[in-house]
Amino acid sequence: MKLLLLGPPASGKGTQASKIAEYLGIPHISTGDIFRENISMKTELGKIVKSYLDNGELVPDEIVTRVVVDKLDKGDYRKGFILDGFPRTIPQAKSFQRNYEFDQVIYIEVDDETVMKRISGRRVCPNCGAVYNVYFNPPRYKGRCDICSQQLITRKDDNPEAAKKRLREYKEKTEPLVEFYDKQNLLRRVNGLKPPEEVFDDIISIINPTTH
Ligand code: AMP
């Protein structure tokens, strides 16, 4: 199963992708996570992409596409993969299509107001990666991770200026992918305003209709 999860920032792509990956037993590839890891390890790639992430701008197409295609070419993805956060532009989708194809594209729909509220409330654990939201899913003890007690942090690109820019970039460059994949009859829509467990069930019933 080769899947793409598409949706605005903070639509729940990352959360859903890791749950689906576990459920289907296939790898989850998040370009955002790859970049953040490289930034924290101060690799060459990390140094190149840092300012784009900090400012909420998209990393240039050639860089992202090379990272993803290299990863897919080198790894064992015979059972498939879930891509979360790539492609994010029409040129990325076209380059990707020269080598790979998706079986399905899941579009998680969330309105702009909810996106901004989710971004401003998001807190992450720098140690174990758990994600919370002060409005929708607060930790048990304020500012502390439920799992490892680490002090939670706000992602640098979750500040209001970068968040607005990410939403603008999304509308301008990523949203056209909805029509692009719809025309190929690959697009399936889910309502991202539902609780995460329901969104997960909806996605599973789309990709695996016989079990639901
Ligand atoms: P995410 O964690 O998916 O929200 O991605 C965080 C940031 O990584 C984005 O705001 C971009 O700066 C960068 N990024 C991730 N995936 C892509 C992509 N496919 N194209 C361009 N930039 C990307």
Global pTM value? 0.88
Percentages helix, strand, coil for the chain (3-state, rounded to 5) are: 50, 15, 35
Residue with tokens 């999860």: 5
SS3 of 67-117: HHHHHHHHCCCCCCEEEECCCCCHHHHHHHHHHCCCCEEEEEECCHHHHHH
Q: Decide if 58 contacts 52 (C-beta within 8 A).
A: yes
Report which of 45, 1, 5 is spatially closest to residue 203, judged by C-alpha positions: 5
Strands 28-30 and 81-84: parallel
Q: Identify the residues whose C-beta falls under 6 Å from ligand 1.
A: 9, 31-32, 35, 52-53, 56-59, 64, 85-88, 92, 157, 166
pLDDT at 210: 64
For 127, other C-beta atoms within 10 Å of its C-beta total: 14
209 Cα to the center of ligand 1, angstroms: 30
pLDDT tens track of the chain, all 212 residues?
A: 999 999 999 999 988 999 999 999 999 999 999 999 999 999 999 999 999 998 889 999 999 999 999 999 998 898 999 999 999 999 999 999 998 999 999 999 999 999 999 999 999 999 998 989 998 889 999 999 999 999 999 988 888 888 889 999 999 999 999 999 999 999 999 999 999 999 999 999 999 866 55
Amino acid at residue number 75 = G
168 Cα to the center of ligand 1, angstroms: 13
Measured between alpha carbons, how far is residue 28 from residues 20, 103, 135, 203 in Å? Answer: 8, 15, 27, 15
pLDDT at 211: 54
101 Cα to the center of ligand 1, angstroms: 20
pLDDT at 122: 92
Domains of the chain, with CATH numbers? 2-27+77-114+173-211 (3.40.50.300)
pLDDT at 131: 87
Mutate which of 52, 58, 105, 118 for ligand 1? The one with the most ligand atoms within 8 Å of its CB, which is 58
Q: How many Cα atoms are found within 13 Å in the side-chain-facing hemisphere of 50?
A: 11
Report which of 80, 123, 148, 114 is spatially closest to residue 8, judged by C-alpha positions: 114
Strands (DSSP E) along the chain, which ranges? 2-6, 28-30, 81-84, 104-109, 122-124, 131-133, 187-191
pLDDT at 97: 94
pLDDT at 161: 87
